């Protein structure tokens, strides 16, 4: 049974006012913040937010490389969506693909020097946006509450996805 749901509330019951308010706040805040971050990265660095996220995840990985399947999971993209994005980033020289020496079925996305440089120049814009559109608009206890409330959802992954 999901946390917070009681046996008396069937999963098909309509959302009550509190539940609907939480749902709307989440989807509207997420959409607005993502649109703002995306617009700033596009305008200043010609990078989409998913492209920035891919470059950032690769920069943090050992040897600046990740299996494509792992990268899709980290970047919250479908495998086909990640493939298209990595193709685009490879054409721009920001990433490259590499085969695993021990298993030819495994393909890695690897951050190039040009990709690391582009990420380095885009980082201040992303940081400024996250601060301006989220962090600076909330009190410390509100930030803690968001992390506590959404943390369990961030790792939630039903087998149907």
Q: Specify the CATH number for the domain of residue 96.
A: 1.10.10.10
Number of domains the chain is built from: 1
Q: Is residue 45 part of a domain?
A: yes
Beta strands of the chain (E only): which ranges? 65-67, 95-99, 107-111
Give the pLDDT confidence of 18-56 residue by residue, as tens digits: 999 999 999 999 999 999 999 999 999 999 999 999 999
pLDDT greater than 70 at residue 3: no
Q: Can you tell me which residue has the tokens 């617009």? A: 39
Q: Is residue 15 part of a domain?
A: no
- pTM across the whole model: 0.85
Separation CA 101–CA 91 (nearest Å): 23
Q: Is residue 112 part of a domain?
A: yes
Q: Which domain holds residue 72?
A: 22-142
Q: Is residue 159 part of a domain?
A: no
Q: Are 55 and 118 in contact (CB under 8 A)?
A: yes
Among the listed residues 78, 46, 38, the one whose alpha carbon sits nearest the alpha carbon of residue 161: 78
Q: Is residue 71 part of a domain?
A: yes
Give the pLDDT confidence of 58-116 residue by residue, as tens digits: 999 999 999 999 999 899 899 999 999 999 999 999 999 999 888 888 899 999 999 99
Phi, psi of 133 (to 5 degrees): -95, -10
């Amino acid at each position: 049974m999901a946390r917070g749901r009681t046996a008396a509330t069937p999963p098909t019951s309509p959302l009550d006012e509190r539940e609907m308010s939480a749902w709307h706040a989440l989807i509207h805040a997420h959409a607005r913040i993502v649109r703002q971050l995306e617009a700033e990265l596009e305008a200043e660095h010609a990078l989409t937010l998913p492209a920035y996220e891919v470059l950032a995840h690769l920069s943090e990985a050992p040897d600046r490389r990740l299996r494509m399947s792992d990268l899709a999971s980290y970047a919250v993209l479908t495998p086909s969506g990640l493939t298209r994005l990595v193709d685009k980033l490879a054409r721009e020289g920001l990433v490259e693909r590499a085969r695993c020496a021990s298993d030819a079925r495994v393909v890695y996305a690897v951050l190039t020097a040009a990709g690391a440089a582009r990420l380095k120049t885009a980082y201040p814009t992303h940081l400024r946006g996250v601060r301006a559109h989220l962090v600076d608009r909330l009190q410390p206890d509100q930030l803690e509450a968001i992390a506590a409330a959404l943390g369990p959802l961030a790792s939630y992954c039903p087998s149907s996805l």
